Structure 1
Amino acid sequence: MPKKRLNVLIIEDHPIIIEGYKNALLSDESSNEYDYFFRQASNCDDALKTLKLKSAANTNLVLLDIKLPPSQKNHHVTSGEDLAIHIRRNFPDTKIIILTMLSEQERIINISKSIEPDGFIIKSDLTSKVLKTAFHKVFNDPPFYSESVLKIHKMNNNASVLIDQIDRSILYHLSKGVKTKNLVDYIPLSLSAIEKRKLNLKKVLELKEKNDKSLISKALEKGFI
């Protein structure tokens, strides 16, 4: 019986981790069933370029890190989360497994809500066995959440999305030294709307000091930048 082609895109900025993912999938018992075709990208721009290819529509699975070098060409893509949102919007049938070092509760909940990934693994939980289990689960009975993700969800079952894609873009550009009055060049909102979002971010992050420096520091601490 001929093998089924499986197109996998790995978006990760550490080459040794990419090889680890490939080896885990190729050593799985399903390697007798699938003929794997791998593509890889190490930053947001490379990923966007790959996703523009005609063949991207045939991508079956994306393994995606969250902390990636941001796009230098697209102001709205500053992380793997933005890439995942882009993939969800343009390739709804593609399975997404998030693999991240992030473990802050607020960040994990936000990623879960904004992306609804088919698989979600905190890298401290990651083994070859866990990745293989996730692979089978996302194609047969999604979602698959690793132990730490499940624990965070259990503690925050009623949590809502606190910080969305636009909020994260505001935080990112502020962290790069863009002044609030100039954020309109990067964010598709009026200055008054941006200022309202900044005030809400300071409230959500429970800042005692209301200046931008404290906002950026707390956002970095929580993994939103």
Structure 2
Amino acid sequence: MITPLTILIVDDHPMTVDSYSNLLSVSNFQENTPNFIRSYNCEDAYNKIFFYLNQNTTIDLALLDISLPPYIEFNIENGIDLASLIRKKFPNCKIVLLTMHGEPLAVDKIIKDINPEGFVSKNDINFELFPIVCKKIVDGEMYKSPTIIESQRELFQRNINWDTHDSQILILIAQGIKTVNLPNYIPLSMSAIEKRKANIKGQLLMGKGSDSDLINIAKKLGLI
């Protein structure tokens, strides 16, 4: 007999959580009905993750909406932060991120930071396809929905290369750190930082614009 999966579902719309649960209960997703952990915001999800961790109960699959009410006290701002936490606490858990957005730079950053087993645009999914995709992921496949794949293709075509240091530069500038002080926070020389900053501006602003313009477009794209 197959042991029922324990599945964490986090979305700020209760009807969506119920829909996911129902679809994975009534389909041929698994022989036994999974055990569902339902949550609607980052704080509740954070607490439930640690509750099950302390109970030595494994979370096998996590379905996480990216846009969620944050848990400010512990700097858990969205589903990406929850995914990062789950990676550390339940390394064998398969993570599926769900989003309404597909901006190329934001998609690329999420894939590099989290490398989820599933990355799905909600615009690409329907009731029939959802349990099929989840079963593929549970069975060991990696899945990216068409919108996510197209975002990666667009990024490749634009020849944009983004890494952790680039993201750190943006985040620190957004926090008000002056460029001259960035080497105190990032293990790069001032020359390297200035080149990266110029490259970032070239990618996001076509080389023209202030630091404020840079931060505004980065926020719009979901990069910070």
- Work out whether the TM-score is over 0.5: yes
Q: Which amino acid aligns with 2:118?
A: G
Of 32, 42, 45, the residue aligned with 1:34 is 32
Number of positions where the alignment pairs a residue of Structure 1 with one of Structure 2: 212
- Alpha-carbon contact 1:6-1:60 (below 8 Å) kept: yes
1:218 correspondence with 2:217:
yes
- CA offset at residue 62 of structure 1? 0.1
2: CA distance between counterparts of 1:90 and 1:146? Answer: 26
SS, match of residue 29 in structure 2: helix
- Look up the SS of the partner of 1:121 in the other structure: strand
Structure 1 residues 23, 86: closer, same or farther in 2, change over 3 A? same
For 1:105, the aligned partner's letter is: P
How big is the shift at 1:9? 0.5
Asked if the contact 2:170/2:215 (under 8 Å) is kept, the reply is no
**In structure 2, how many angstroms separate the alpha carbons of the residues matched to 1:192 and 1:139?**
38
The CA deviation at 1:64 is 0.6
Say if 1:49 and 1:9 are closer, same or farther in 2 by CA, change over 3 A: same
Structure 2, unpaired ranges of 5+: none
Aligned residues with identical type, % of pairs:
27
Name the amino acid aligned to 1:34: N
Partner of 1:139: 138
Q: 1:154 to 1:179 in 2, by over 3 A?
A: closer
> One-letter code of the match for 1:101?
M
- Asked if structure 1 preserves the Cα contact closer than 8 Å seen for 2:107 and 2:148, the reply is yes
Structure 1 residue 192: Cα displacement? 7.6
Q: Distance in 2 between matches of 1:98 and 1:145?
A: 10
Partner SS state of residue 73, structure 1: helix
Q: Aligned pair in 2 of structure 1 residues 113, 43: CA closer, same or farther (>3 Å)?
A: same
Does structure 2 retain, via aligned residues, the 8 Å contact 1:44–1:78?
A: yes
Give 1:152 deviation, angstroms.
2.5
Q: Tell me: CA distance 1:14–1:20, structure 2 relative to 1, closer, same or farther (3 Å).
A: same
CA deviation string 1:117-158 (max 9, x = no partner) = 111110100112221121111122310111222223334458
Structure 1 stretches lacking a partner, 5+ long: 182-188
| Structure 1 residue 165: Cα displacement | 9.4
In terms of Rg, which structure is larger? 2
Matches within 5 A, 1:1-80: 1=1, 4-31=3-30, 33-53=31-51, 54-55=54-55, 57-75=57-75, 77-80=76-79
Distance change >3 Å, CA 192–CA 98, structure 1 → 2? closer
Match of 1:62, as an amino acid?
A
Deviations 1:82-104 (A, max 9, x none): 22122112211001111111111
Letter in 1 for 2:107: I
